[in-house]
Amino acid sequence: IWFLPNSKMIQEYKKEGKLVPSDIVVELLQQAMQRSGNKKFLLDGFPRNEENRVAAEKILKIQPTAVLVLECSEEEMIRRVLLRNQGRVDDNIDTVKKRLTVYKESTLPVVDYFAKMGKVRKIDAERPIEEVFESVKTIFSELGIKNHAGEGTVNAQAV
């Protein structure tokens, strides 16, 4: 996203642990989805709030088949984020804690919305990463999703 007109602003939001405004996220998703030519997508980290969810339904006209929630303690989340060493500006303890607060306040209500629709699938992510990955693959298999890693994937986490 470094070449995009909004990339500096997006990086500032990420650095501060804040959510990128829905209009920007939805516009980027729409462009990526149209470019791909695919009809099915795996969106990582979207929608992150009620505004994202509504925008996805109205503008993108999409509804998820399933919502995958990886559950683990805050301590484990923080440990994994700090160990991933991806050089991201938002991978520091203060920003991670802010992101967890934003998750509780903004994302959990969206998870609850989809849970009421029976679309949420939860995985115990306290286990070793390899076991978590196997659980994800099992759920994908149950949903009829084949392994197409990298083919037409739009990563909402990148914004």
Per-residue pLDDT tens for 37-93?
A: 888 888 888 998 999 999 999 988 888 999 999 999 999 988 988 888 777 777 788
Domain count, the chain: 1
Alpha helix ranges (H) inside the chain: 7-15, 22-36, 50-55, 74-83, 93-102, 108-116, 129-142
pTM of the model: 0.76
Query: CATH no. for residue 47?
Result: 3.40.50.300
* DSSP structure class, residue 65: S
In a domain, 1, yes or no: no
Q: Name 70's bridge partners.
A: 123
User: Does the pLDDT at position 97 exceed 70?
Assistant: yes
User: Does the pLDDT at position 119 exceed 90?
Assistant: yes
Question: Domain containing 34: what range?
Answer: 7-158
CA distance 48 to 44: 10
